[in-house]
Amino acid sequence: MTITVLTLLKRREGMSKADFIAYYETKHRLIGEKVLAGWASRYERLHLHPLDGQTLDHDFDVVLEIDFPDQATCDACFAAMADPATMDEIVEDELQLFDRSRMRTYAVERHRSAL
C-alpha cells in the first residue's frame, strides 16, 4: 500500500514567486532527490497559482507530495533524514527558501470517486 506524505510550504517573506520556483527547482529539489533516493517512489512539487490572481497571507506556495511503497520505508526514510548532518543541510537550504514557521506535513488518506 502506497504511503503519501503531503507538505504545504510558504516562501520566505520578500521572495518573489518566480525566484521561489527557480530556486526550488534548480537547487532545493536536488537535496530532496538526494535524501529521498532509494526510499521514495515519487517526489512531486505542485506550485500553486491562485485562480483569482490574489496572494493572501494564509496561502501556501507549493504542495510537496512524496510517495513511499509502505509505512516501514517512510519511517526509515524520515529516520535517515534525522541524521544531524543531513538535517543541517536541509535546514540550511530551507532558510533560503521557506517560511519554516508555516510548514505543515500530513499523512494522506485517499478516497477517489469514479467519474
CATH topology of domain 3-107: Alpha-Beta Plaits (3.30.70)
What's the rounded Cα separation, in Å, for the pair 51 and 75?
A: 36
Three-state SS string over the chain comes to: CCEEEEEEECECCCCCHHHHHHHHHHHHHHHHHHHHCCCCCEEEEEECCCCCCCCCCCCCCEEEEEEECCHHHHHHHHHHHCCHHHHHHHHHHHHHHECHHHCEEEECCCCCCCC
Segment 18-32 shows an average pLDDT of 98
- List the chain domain ranges: 3-107
Average pLDDT, the chain: 96
- Confidence (pTM): 0.92
* Confidence tier at 22 by pLDDT (50, 70, 90): very high
Does the pLDDT of residue 113 top 90, yes or no? yes
- 32-44 tens-digit pLDDT: 999 999 999 999 9
Provide the pLDDT confidence category of residue 29 given band limits of 50, 70 and 90. very high
